[in-house]
Amino acid sequence: MAGTREGDPTSTTPDEDVVKIIILGDSAAGKSKLVERYLMDDYAPQQLSTYALTLFRHKERLDDGNVVPIDLWDTAGQDRFNSLHPSYYFRAHACILCFDITRKITYKNLEKWYEELRTYCPSIPCMVVGNKIDVDYEVTKKSFAFASKRGLPFMFVSAADGTNVARCFREVVKMGLTYKNNPEDDYYTEVMNLLAEGEVL
């Protein structure tokens, strides 16, 4: 049975219990619309970029019955500046790396976003998604080497018609939960954790 979403997204959940998922990619690649489709199953086409960080707190019921609280962090326009503040990556457990299948430059720029991700989060799981396949379903017959060369999972999605959106987020939640329960130590995360706890002056 497919995972379902439930619960009040405004309810308070201790941060240590939350799986944090960050979404990376060029502006207008459809990242915000993917989140909206996942959370609300609704889609209104528009061309405007948002201008501040958007955080969505929600809950996902997995196939095994476990309910996982999640924070979805959307760059919300910050990506127009080609780099994000390090705090965006702090304590992230998984990443969705998104490009627009109709805009070649968004695919080319995956390298830049992936390099920045690995600077701050060397080991968190990452899924690559090609968005807007509703524009041309023939694109699903093509291969995109970026993900396979790096051993990353890849999925075609459409925020417009919902293709694979729920499946994508469900899989990333599982990946993030696994990482959260079995983290790989890295220097940056260790230092940032100490700073957050006030143990480094």
Q: Say what the pLDDT of residue 143 is.
A: 86
- 149 pLDDT more than 80: yes
Per-residue pLDDT at 162 = 92
Q: How far apart are CA 13 and CA 82, in angstroms?
A: 32
3-class state of residue 109 by DSSP? coil
CA distance 177 to 57: 15
Q: What is the pTM for the complete model shown?
A: 0.79
Q: In the predicted model, is pLDDT for residue 53 greater than 70?
A: no
- Of the pLDDT bands very low, low, confident and very high (cuts 50, 70, 90), residue 88 is confident
CA 49, CA 33: separation in Å to the nearest integer? 11
DSSP 36-93: HHHHHS------PPP-S-EEEEEEEE-TTS-EEEEEEEE-TTGGGGT---GGGTTT--
At residue 37, does pLDDT exceed 80?
Answer: yes
User: Average of pLDDT values for 103-122?
Assistant: 95
Grade residue 172 by pLDDT with cuts at 50, 70 and 90: very high
Pick the CATH number of 4-182 from 3.40.50.880, 3.30.70.2750, 3.40.50.300, 3.30.70.3340: 3.40.50.300
- 107 contacts: CB under 8 Å, gap ≥ 6: 99, 100, 101, 130, 144, 146
Q: Which residues pair with 130 in a beta bridge?
A: 99, 156
Going from the C-alpha of 180 to that of each of 19, 117, 172, 175, the distances in angstroms are: 7, 17, 12, 9
Mean pLDDT of 88-106: 94
Nearby residues of 29 by Cβ (< 8 Å), 6 or more positions away: 98, 99, 100, 103, 106, 131
188 vs 162, residue with greater confidence: 162
Domain extents for the chain? 4-182
What integer pLDDT is reported at residue 192 of this predicted model? 52
